[in-house]
Every structure is written in C-alpha cells, then in structure tokens.
Structure 1
Amino acid sequence: MRGRPLLPFLSPLLALSVIAAACGGGGGEEGADGTGQENGGSSTTSNPAATTSSTPGPPPGPPTTRGPAPEVTVEPIGAMGGTVVLSGEPAYRGVLGQIDPDRNVVAPVALPPAPAAPGIAPLTGLPLDDPAVAGRPALLVKIDNTAKGRPQEALARADLVYEELIEGGFTRLAAVYHTHSPLLGPVRSGRTTDIALLGSLNEPIFAWSGANRVHAALLRRQDFVDLGAATIRNYFRADDRPGTYDLMTESDVLRDLAAQRDAGGAPPPHFEYRDATIGLPASAVAATGASIDFPSVSVEWTWEAATAGWARTQDGSRHVDAQDVPVVARNVVIAEVGVVGTGSVDLSGSSVDEQLFLGTGRGWVLSDG
C-alpha cells in the first residue's frame, strides 16, 4: 500500500485532491474504459506529496470546535488487499468493494457537521435562491481530465470536485452537482475508488459511462440511483469533441428521471464553513499556493485576491471550463490516502488502483490565502 493525495475542489467550488488515485488512460490517454483483470499481486510505488509555498503571517483566531465523536459499533476490515471473488470473474483484490454500505469499519473522531440551516446549500454553506433545492439528490458524475477531455462542461459550477489518480498517472474528476443542473461531460467510467464518494452522499444520482464487469458489479452494490450510460439512453455524443471524450448528458434530464422513480436522498453537509465572525485556527500558516505532481499531471493552486479563491493550473495552463469560466475554488482540501491494486489492469497493462478514502490520515486545507 502506498500514500498519495485525493483532492477535491470546494465551493462555491470545493476542490478535493487525493494524493493517491486511479482512472483512465494507461500508457496513453485512452483505454480508461477498457480494463482487464490480473489475478497476481500488485506492485506498489509512491508519489511525492503536495508542497506549499508560504509567507509568514499571524494567524487570525481560533477555530470552532464541536462535541465528542458519536459511539458506533465498528467491524474493521480484516486485511488490506483481501480477495473477493465474484461468480464467473477473476479476483478483486481491493478494499472498498468489501465494505457493506451499512457497516462501520472505522470509528468517527468527531461529530459530523450539523444539518444545514433552512435555505442553505448543504455542500457549499451558501444561501439558495430556491430553498427546495436542498432536499433533492446530489448528482455525482465522472468526468475526463486529460487534454482530449478538456475543457469540461460547467466544471466551475460544481459544488464539490474530487480529483482521483487513474492508470498511466493521469487524473479523473468526480464532480458533485447539487446547487446547479448544467450540461455534463465528457462522462467517463467509474472505479471502485468511487465507492467511498457514493457512500458519503446519501443515495446520489450517479452519471458514468460504465466500468469493467467486476468494478461495475461492486459499484452497483452501493446505494445510489444508477443513471449511467449502460442503464439509460439519455446520453449523446458531442460533434465537436473527439471520440471516447464526447459522451454528454443533461443533469436536468437525470434529475427528472430520478424524481419519476422517487429515488435518491438529500446529501448531508460534508464540511463546516466559517463566516466572517470566525477566524482561522492558531496553527494556520499564510500560503500563496500548493502544487501536486501526479506522475503524468502537474497541478497548481494559486491564491488570487481578486477572486478570493484558489485558481487552478494544470500542466502550466490556467484551467477553464467549456464556458471559459476559470476553475477557482474557495477551499481546497488535499488528503493523503492509501492505495491498493484492485487486480484489474488497463489495455496497456497498467494497474487499476483504488484509493482508500476512508478512516483518518494527513491532509492540508487551503482557505483564505
């Protein structure tokens, strides 16, 4: 097992980066959706952690604190990298696929965030124009992040975005839309890393292009509304995008289908947000930015006073979406997580890994510069 970061972008856009992740392209940028199986053990490597450039400055004030963690019955996983054999398929050697959605495998270390106040978006902490939006399901969509897949549609309008490492050292995005309902894409395939994300959103709508048979079977054991391209026909190919990177769908259509099925649940708050009256913790250090060097992708977050957010740069170019809106996150969380091989390989022979986004670990939070 090795440590890497899993990153999210936070809101209005919240970015979550995982230093450790798996998706997509193998020896090149293609092949992410066609993965085979490997019954042998997986090799492990390590990737450099994120680095920050900082300037000294006095921390403003103490953080808020909440009460003790709730007591729950914990049934920990017996071993990392255990084997689960699906009927008629080669062995799965990951971890998240072993977890029952209703089972507690780690003890909480703090109370979860308090329920959002009426009229407040649970994932962003911002006021809603329509209070009824708070009660609808979140929509989690897997989105390509290679050069052929960018610019992505309406990425800057997502409530949360997780950046996962995939095959070949590239990254894929798992974007969560709750407040807005734009055109989505390019839609790509799922991985077992997504199990941890799906479980945190209380039966979200899941938009995905599919997965190999083993990963798809493990994903479908989870609690979500399956509106993927293998399940419904409400996807289309964009004429102005290259093949494989052209699968699109409309979030309004997916929400209507979920409502017709009376399926899905409102997402719980994932974070507690400060207001103008609450200062930063005493341990906070002023920083101008952070960089994350994935094997095949270089990412930088740079504080911009003009936008009061962290502007994202990928491979030396400012990241903008298909509407030419810069990707700027109010908060960025960099989480260092463990990684195990799943037993699957892509078409070029690269291991399809799984990031263990559960439990406790080291992380960095970028907020307010």
Structure 2
Amino acid sequence: MKRLLLALTLVTVFILSGCNKQDQTLEEKLDTENEIIIEDTKEYLKNIFTGEDIEQEKIPFFVIIENSKMARPHSGLSSADIVFETLVEGGITRYLALFSKDVEKIGPVRSTRPYIQDITVAFDIPFAHCGGSNQAIDLIKRKNLKSINEMYNSSYFFRSKDRKAPHNLYTSSDKLRDYISKNGYTNRYNFNMNFDESIDTSLESASIIKIIPSKYTYSEFRYEDGKYLRFQDGKEDIDILNNKQINVSNVLVLFTDIKDLNNESKHVDVRILGRGNGLLFKGGKVEKVTWVKERETDHFDIRNEKGLRVNLLKGNSWIYIIDNKSQVIY
C-alpha cells in the first residue's frame, strides 16, 4: 500500500511539474508575442526640409559658413538639413547652411553676398552672418531682410580661442533662436521639395562624384550604405563637433552663370534667378534635371527630362550652385 501511495505521489508531482513547465513556456510565448505586437503610437511631425519624422518642430535658421582651408574642420555642418555651396572671391566656396536641429557650435561664420541672400528669401528664414559686401548690406537694409549680423549683435555669437580671427567666429542654435524670438521674426518658412524612398533603377549609376567649382578647390562624394560620404580637397570632410565624416542623402548640382565683378575685393556675381541645367544624385544614381527660379520668392523648381518635378530621398541634402563651365565627373 505504501509503495502504491509513493508511486501515485511521484506521478502527481511529475504531472504538476510538467504543467508548470508548460504554463511557463506558454507565459514566455505570450510575453514574446506581446513584445512583437507592441507598436510606437507616438504621433510624429514631418521635417519639411528632410522629409524625416520629428517629435517637435523647432525654429529653423540659416548660417553663412566659411570654407577656406583655415576654416576647416567645420563645426555643426553634419547636423544641417540643407547646405548650399557656391563660389565667392578667390576661387573658394562658401556655405549657406539650414538648421532645424539643436546644435551647440556652428561655424566658422563669415560674411554675406547678395546672391546668397537671394536663396534665403524664398525660405523666409533668418540668416546669421558677420558683415558682408557693400551691395549685400545695402540690400539687407532696402529689402528689410531677416539678417542676424554679428557686427551689431555680437552677444549671439562667440569667438573660439583655438583659432585666429577671422576664422574663429561661431554661433549656436540656442543663441540664434533666442535672437529670432526676441526680435519677432515670423516663422512662416516653407519648402517646395517632396520626399520618398523610390529610386529609378534604370538611371545611370554614379557612386563616386567629383565636383570642381574652380581650379582652387574640389569636392568628392562616395556612395556607401545609402549615404554620400563627403571629401574636401582629397580629405575626409570631418565635423569636429562629433568627429564624424559629413554625409548626405542627396547631392544636387545646379549650373548657372558666374562672372567676376572685377572690383578691388575680387567679388563674383552668381546668377540665382532664371533657369538652367543640373544633376541630381541619389541612391547611387544620377538624373539630368532642369531648374527654374523666376522670382526671389520662388524656390528652385527642379524637374526631370520628362518635365516632372523630382523628389528627394528622405534625409539631408547638399546643393551646389556652380558655373556652367565647371566640371562634374561621375
């Protein structure tokens, strides 16, 4: 009888133990299933300059940034939504960078030119700079442009001790947004480009791009893992703020007329209004495009050879405005 009771006890323990294991396995399975079906229910906004999801919309602004050799490496450029690059005097280029993110150090900041300001008008976004050509300053006054000039607003900029002037002037998103808020600049900004993830596989491949705006400087982009890694004069273009190589999703080249003004400062004039040809690089492919900008308040209207407006890939963009005679090799 004792043996029978012992056997029944062992069987019962075994059965209960098996049930516990089954229940545990079922619970683990349910936990795993629950983890799989959990969804992010947070509602996101769209960054109109990149097409990306953002949690909070922040005041955007432009900064005019120097690109001489003494200005490199730059600070904050990797965080820009859009960078326009075009020629200034001496065969060097200058950047007009648009930011909507928080960036603690941006620069070096340099002076403005009339054709650079022609780009900002369409966006209706304030631009930070330090002085400018006589014509540019005159246009700011006459047209009441949204200028943030360090020469009259030095508290919204700062000097870095690790570089010599004039290559050591910087600003930040906090400082510029503070200025914008205090001075009542409206935030009626806009942009006309759309974004998607489609790539026309029938287009010509272009994984390495070399852009030569003058005989004094050139840039390269190499397509890797969905991004174009940027090189400047044969070297990796590093953002010293995060020690990372600058990369973008889209590279757009717009050809125009650039002429020497033959003045003492050797300034040039870049035609921003009118129309011209261009090249759009995205997803390792290249597409021939045309651009039209009839009025200052118009954005560049970019269309393909079929006359359809092109879309950009989601992410940041680098836009060159170079002379019709400049070389682009790919």
TM-score range, shorter chain: 0.5 to 0.7
Q: Does 1:196 align with 2:118?
A: yes
1:241 to 158, 163, 188: 163
Q: Does 1:292 align with 2:215?
A: no
Spell out, residue by residue over 1:164-204, the C-alpha distance to the aligned partner (whole angstroms, 9 max, x if none).
Answer: 111111111111112334322110000111122111211x1
TM superposition outliers: structure 1 runs of 4+ over 6 Å: none
1:147 to 69, 93, 105: 69
1:169 to 88, 91, 94: 91
1:123 to 49, 65, 77: 49
The letter for the 2-side match of 1:209 is C
1:335 to 231, 240, 254: 254
Change (3 A) 1:150 1:281: same
Q: Which residue of 1 aligns with 2:302?
A: none
Distance 1:344 1:193 in 2: 16
Q: Which has the higher strand share?
A: 2
Question: CA shift at 1:342, angstroms?
Answer: 4.3
Output aligned runs, 1:156-235, within 5 Å.
156-202=78-124, 204-222=125-143, 224-234=145-155, 235=157
Question: CA shift at 1:341, angstroms?
Answer: 3.9
Change (3 A) 1:141 1:255: same
Q: Which has the higher helix share?
A: 2
TM-score of the two chains, using structure 1 as the length reference: 0.61
The letter for the 1-side match of 2:135 is V
Contact kept? 2:199, 2:283, Cα under 8 Å: no
Distance 2:281 2:103 in 1: 27
Distance 1:216 1:360 in 2: 26
Distance 2:264 2:195 in 1: 40
In our comparison, the structure showing a higher alpha carbon Rg is 2
Contact kept? 1:186, 1:247, Cα under 8 Å: yes
TM-score of the two chains, using structure 2 as the length reference: 0.68
Contact kept? 1:198, 1:224, Cα under 8 Å: no
1:318 to 236, 251, 257: 236
Contact kept? 1:195, 1:222, Cα under 8 Å: no
Question: CA shift at 1:285, angstroms?
Answer: 1.2
Contact kept? 2:61, 2:99, Cα under 8 Å: yes
The letter for the 2-side match of 1:221 is R
Give SS of 1:241's match. coil
Contact kept? 1:290, 1:300, Cα under 8 Å: yes
Contact kept? 1:337, 1:357, Cα under 8 Å: yes
Distance 2:141 2:47 in 1: 28
Identical amino acids, percent of aligned pairs? 24
Question: CA shift at 1:354, angstroms?
Answer: 1.6
Question: CA shift at 1:231, angstroms?
Answer: 2.2
Spell out, residue by residue over 1:212-262, the C-alpha distance to the aligned partner (whole angstroms, 9 max, x if none).
Answer: 333211233345422211221222211001221001122211111211222
Spell out, residue by residue over 1:87-140, the C-alpha distance to the aligned partner (whole angstroms, 9 max, x if none).
Answer: xxxxxxxxxxxxxxxxxxxxxxxxxxxxxx97101111111121x32xx3x311
Query: What's the C-alpha RMSD, in Å, of the aligned pairs?
Result: 2.0
Bigger relative contact order (CA 8 A; separation at least 6): 1
Q: How many residues align?
A: 239
Distance 1:274 1:268 in 2: 18
Question: CA shift at 1:316, angstroms?
Answer: 0.9
Distance 2:211 2:279 in 1: 12
The letter for the 1-side match of 2:142 is R
Contact kept? 1:336, 1:362, Cα under 8 Å: yes
Which residues of structure 1 form unaligned runs of 5+?
1-116
Give SS of 2:207's match. strand
Contact kept? 2:140, 2:147, Cα under 8 Å: no
Change (3 A) 1:318 1:146: same
Q: Which residue of 2 aligns with 1:367?
A: 282
Spell out, residue by residue over 1:128-168, the C-alpha distance to the aligned partner (whole angstroms, 9 max, x if none).
Answer: 121x32xx3x3111111111101111110001001111111
Give SS of 1:255's match. helix
